[in-house]
Structure 1
Amino acid sequence: MKILHRQIFKELLSIFTLSLSGFMGLILIGRLLQFRDLFMGQSLGALEMGKLFLYLCPFFLLVLTPIATMLAIFLTFLRMNSDNEITALKSGGLSLYKLLPAPIIFCMLCTGADVFFSLYGLSWGTENFRNALMEFARTRSQLAIQPGVFNRDFPGLVFYAEKVDTKDGKMHSVFVRDSTRKSMTATIVAPLGEIRTDSARGRIMVHLENGRIYQQQKDQLSVLKFKNYDVRIPLGNLLKGYDVDDLRPKEMSWEKLVRISRGGDRAGDLDPKFYRKVQVEVQKRLALPVACLVLGMFAMPIACIFRGLKQQYGLIISMGLFLVYYTMLSLGITLGESGTLSPVVGLWAPNTIFAVISILLLKMAVMERSFRIKLSFFKKKRREAV
């Protein structure tokens, strides 16, 4: 039995690794096409692009781990069923219940990994991704402001600095003309300036010290003195439309989500729709890891019930079943965010339904009730029709 479980586990692991790698490759290629303008605008090298993709991996792994788990178990037991290995084991006195330890342990390990991605990996990746983009934008802004040159790269802003220290970004004798407001134009003069980043709010600003602001509004001119003043640089032009302003619920850490959902962290001041999104995100972070166990145990009896099915068709069936699950999950997310349905019900209903069905199908598979797919019959009918 140890040898049998070990061999099943090895096959599960190999198919899981291959499936997860394939899905990750396709998604990362899609992201590369999506961020091509950002990468070209920031002139990023292969190392910087690799870091950004690494930071995005936990977000994708959270969703891809359940489907890879389901696919691994389905294809493994489908092959064993097609090669009559399960029939041979049954003839030796082994039931399907005795084959459960390997897939259960495998599903538990995948669930544990997905819990790590959900609670820790996603927030780590999101924070580092935002910080990396902010640092790229800050460097880009620093390079854009050349000494002795009027810079007009940012809409509504004109920058001029007599001297710029390329090492620390310090600027001397700074002139800024701000016409981003329709009703007022401001001219700012300061002896010292520096480009700073605010990663928490997704902002880059030019910090000025000990200067004056000349505000012109219609026919009135006012002069203000300041000790510290920040001019915000619009990131839409630098990051090619990528939004790094306020954190969205799916980008928040688990601790922050829990605080908001429990009424802390000024939850009362939040928009009700945003608060519902936070509650939905909390349930999603919990439901997706459990889906590894539910979908994995759902795939095993399905693979044992269908006979005479080739692996390529099995792949289509498994993807279709996951599409049904993901459609139900997406519907629960939509209803939860709109307030029509409780997030607990909407996010956990797919897991509950698939878990009940998996128990019924397992009993059916143990009783050797199966659906034999005779593809040759359909091919013969097709030839006769032609």
Structure 2
Amino acid sequence: MLRVPFLSWCIGGSKEKITQVLKKLDKLIIKAFIGPFVATFFITLLVLVMQFFWLYIDDFVGKGLGAGVIAEFIWYQSAVLVPLALPLAVLLSSLMTFGNLGETYELVAIKSAGISLLRFMRPLFFVTLTICFIAFLFSNYIIPVANLKSRTLLADIVYAKPSFDIKEGVFYDKISGFAIKIGKKEPNDSVIRDIIIYEQAGASLQDNFIIAEDGVMRISDNKRYLEFILKNGWRYQERGNTTQANTEFVRLGFDQYTKQFDLSSFQFQRTSDSVNKNNQRMLSMRQLGVAIDSIRKDANNFAPQVRRDVLSSAEFRAHLDSNWAIAGKVPAVKSFSEILPDSMQQMVRQRSQGIVQALKSNGELVVTQYNDRQRDLRKYQIEWHRKISLSLACLVLFLIGAPLGSIIRKGGLGSPMVFSIIFFMVFYFLGTSGEKLSRAGSLHPFNGMWLSSYVLVPIGLFLTVKAVNDSQLFNREFYQRAWSRFKARRAGKTAKPA
């Protein structure tokens, strides 16, 4: 622990000694921060990855995925979750660092030596700015590639068929066109008893059955075919169409019969990354900017499209001004029935309804297209702001964690973990809500993606002011003393009239 007399002597000495002490303090706070930051970062990243696997666990189990495929997916998904793990790691580590220093009274010693809390926070402020810059570079250059790889691999895993597994007494229908039932399997899983194979040949309605007393089940050497070597059985086959009267039913007995099933559809197949390359999450800020400009240009062309597509069906547009030109020269009429004969009114009414319906259909189509383009524009703008907002979130949460840790003066993982979870939930909830509102068009993408910063920055500044002024904001004894004084004052007022 740094002693007060030592610091006082240094402050009262030469300028070089003061500089040396401040450098030692800077190194002290940085060393105290780096260890908890690295530990909490990897723990947070592990928790986020496990949460992701918890959501998709059903899509991974029972598909025979190799360890290499799972490790590759974990690697890409970990990279995707780094921008979300960094803010939480900064918040928790800053809380732990200043909480430990406050609990061991090192903050008290530093303040008593005339060094303000803001000066003590300055080195970590610049460290956090460096983390923000690294997070931005990571989001702009690495995250798009990691997103592309992980999303493509996840889609391949989700749509892959489960691994081949036939259970006793249950029809297995995962092989297209077949349903297989095995009455009993021997312990070696090769010898099988009481086999029933139902086969539907293509789109025809024939029902073909194979029944055998026993047999051997094995996988071919190239892992592509499943072979059934059946013994002592019958094959029931239907020839012709069931709608015809000359349908034939054939029964064939066999001593040994070999049936092969193609298992190529069960093999895990990789999709090209180019399938998802145009998704907004797979683009850098420069690419997002180009896409946003293109969408805006397309949106500006909707006015000529309306005149071309919607109003083209309105044949009366060419005669809109003709009635104004002859106004006052012809007597006024109250209805079309006065100027149209009865034989023409029905035809005019039907043509008018057709024109209105055409105008309505074309208008709805153009509105749908315009709304789709605006929705795409918001998606790209959201991703553009996300890369900056998530990077600066490290600094925003540092402004909360550092002063909060110096106020509560509790180290370890107890109180800091509780406060970190609370503020991170607020940050995550506001960010998610802002993104949803932006996607729906209720908020501008800028306001939606920066909604959490709007709320948390004032809280961070408020906590910083309280920490600089040695506030008792989270001191339980302070509130107990205040409550005692309030009760004593109230009791005094009650006893005074007597």
TM tier, smaller: 0.5 to 0.7
Q: Is the 8 A contact 2:49 2:81 kept in 1?
A: no
Q: Kindly name which structure, 1 or 2, has the bigger radius of gyration based on alpha carbons.
A: 2
User: Once structures 1 and 2 are overlaid, which stretch shifts more, 250-259 or 310-319?
Assistant: 250-259
Distance 1:40 1:318, change over 3 A: closer
2:470 to 368, 373, 376: 368
Show the counterpart of 2:29.
8
Instruction: Tell me the distance in 1 between the aligned counterparts of 2:202 and 2:91.
Output: 56
1:51 to 41, 57, 72: 72
Q: Is the 8 A contact 1:81 1:87 kept in 2?
A: yes
Following superposition, the deviation at residue 311 of structure 1 comes to 4.5
- After superposition, the C-alpha distances for 1:36-80 in whole angstroms (9 at most, x for unaligned) are 454455533222211111111222111111111111111110111
Q: Is the 8 A contact 1:115 1:286 kept in 2?
A: yes
- After superposition, the C-alpha distances for 1:187-244 in whole angstroms (9 at most, x for unaligned) are xxxxxxxxxxxxxxxxxxxxxxxxxxxxxxxxxxxxxxxxxxxxxxxx99978xxxx9
1:95 to 100, 116, 124: 116
Instruction: Tell me the distance in 2 between the aligned counterparts of 1:238 and 1:275.
Output: 35
User: Once structures 1 and 2 are overlaid, which stretch shifts more, 28-37 or 4-13?
Assistant: 28-37
Show the counterpart of 1:298.
400
Cα RMSD between the aligned structures? Answer: 3.8
Distance 1:2 1:372, change over 3 A: same
Show the counterpart of 1:104.
125
Instruction: Tell me the distance in 2 between the aligned counterparts of 1:250 and 1:89.
Output: 46
Show the counterpart of 1:227.
none
Instruction: Tell me the distance in 1 between the aligned counterparts of 2:75 and 2:410.
Output: 41
Q: Is the 8 A contact 2:295 2:377 kept in 1?
A: no
Aligned length: 291
Instruction: Give the SS at the match of 1:262.
Output: helix
Partner AA of 1:314 in structure 2: P
Instruction: Give the SS at the match of 1:340.
Output: coil
Following superposition, the deviation at residue 117 of structure 1 comes to 2.3
Show the counterpart of 1:320.
422
Asked if 1:249 is matched to 2:272, the reply is no
Instruction: Tell me the distance in 2 between the aligned counterparts of 1:106 and 1:236.
Output: 50
- What is the correspondence of 1:148-163 to structure 2 with a 5 Å cutoff? none
Identity of aligned residues (%): 21
Show the counterpart of 2:384.
282
Instruction: Tell me the distance in 1 between the aligned counterparts of 2:406 and 2:68.
Output: 46
Instruction: Tell me the distance in 1 between the aligned counterparts of 2:373 and 2:202.
Output: 31
2:107 to 86, 94, 99: 86
The TM-score normalised by the length of structure 2 is 0.51
Q: Is the 8 A contact 1:16 1:68 kept in 2?
A: yes
2:90 to 57, 69, 73: 69
Asked if 1:263 is matched to 2:294, the reply is yes
Distance 1:273 1:131, change over 3 A: closer
User: Once structures 1 and 2 are overlaid, which stretch shifts more, 367-376 or 290-299?
Assistant: 367-376
More strand by share: 1
Q: Is the 8 A contact 1:291 1:351 kept in 2?
A: yes
Q: Is the 8 A contact 1:260 1:267 kept in 2?
A: no
Please, which runs of 5 or more residues in structure 1 have no aligned partner?
145-151, 157-176, 180-234, 379-386
User: Once structures 1 and 2 are overlaid, which stretch shifts more, 61-70 or 344-353?
Assistant: 344-353
1:335 to 433, 437, 440: 437
Q: Is the 8 A contact 2:472 2:478 kept in 1?
A: no
Partner AA of 1:56 in structure 2: Q
- After superposition, the C-alpha distances for 1:75-113 in whole angstroms (9 at most, x for unaligned) are 110111121110011111211122122211221122022
Instruction: Give the SS at the match of 1:263.
Output: helix
The TM-score normalised by the length of structure 1 is 0.64
Asked if 1:118 is matched to 2:139, the reply is yes
